[in-house]
Structure 1
C-alpha cells in the first residue's frame, strides 16, 4: 500500500517541521555539550518535546564531552541499550541506568 502523494503545501509544511526538529535537537545537543543541560533533564524534556524524543541515544551520548562514537556504542552495550534505540524508546530501567552511569563519570 503506497502513500498518497503530498500536495506542494503539505510537502512544504513537512519540510519546515523537519527543519525545526533538527534545530531543536541540535540546540539540545549543544546545551548538553556545554553542561547547561544534564542527561536527566534531557530525558525529562523528551516526555514533552517530540524532537528530543526522536533523537537517537547514540547521538545524545556523542554530544557529551570526551565521548565519541566508539565510546558511546560501548556505553550503550554495557547498559543493554540497542544501537538503534531512540530516546523515546528507552525503558524506565534503561533511563535510570543511563543517568546513573553518567553521574558516576
Structure 2
C-alpha cells in the first residue's frame, strides 16, 4: 500500500493535531502530579477521551506523587497489566482494580 501524498495544509493540520494531543496528555499528567486531579479521576477522564487514552498506564502511574518507576512496575505486575499497555487497551476489570488500589 502506497503512502498517501499530503498537501502542505494537510501536513500542517496533522502536526497541529498531534501537538495539541501531546499537550493534553502532558497537562493531564501534570495535574495528577500536582495533586489537582486524583489518579482515578484522571483514569476516568482518559478512558472517555480518544487522545488521552493513548497515555501509557505506567506513565500515568509515575505521575502520582511518590510513585517512581519501581513502584509503578510493581503495581503493573501485581495487577497483571503489560508494561507497554495504554489506557485504551485496559479491560474493565483492570480499570476497576486500578481504581480500587489507588483510591
Mark yes or no: TM-score above 0.5. Answer: yes
Q: Paired residue for 1:94?
A: 94
Query: Which consecutive aligned stretches of 4+ in structure 1 deviate over 3 angstroms post-superposition?
Result: none
TM-score (norm 2): 0.91
In structure 2, what is the Cα distance between the partners aligned to 1:2 and 1:84? 29
TM-score (norm 1): 0.89
C-alpha RMSD over aligned residues = 1.2
The number of aligned residues is 103
Q: Paired residue for 2:15?
A: 15
CA deviation profile, 1:24-50 (whole Å, cap 9, x unmatched): 111111111111111221122123322
In structure 2, what is the Cα distance between the partners aligned to 1:93 and 1:17? 31
In structure 2, what is the Cα distance between the partners aligned to 1:2 and 1:96? 42
The runs of 5 or more residues in structure 2 that have no matched partner are none
**Is 1:78 the equivalent of 2:78?**
yes
In structure 2, what is the Cα distance between the partners aligned to 1:2 and 1:68? 42
Q: Paired residue for 1:31?
A: 31
1:98 Cα deviation after fit: 0.7
Q: Paired residue for 1:56?
A: 56
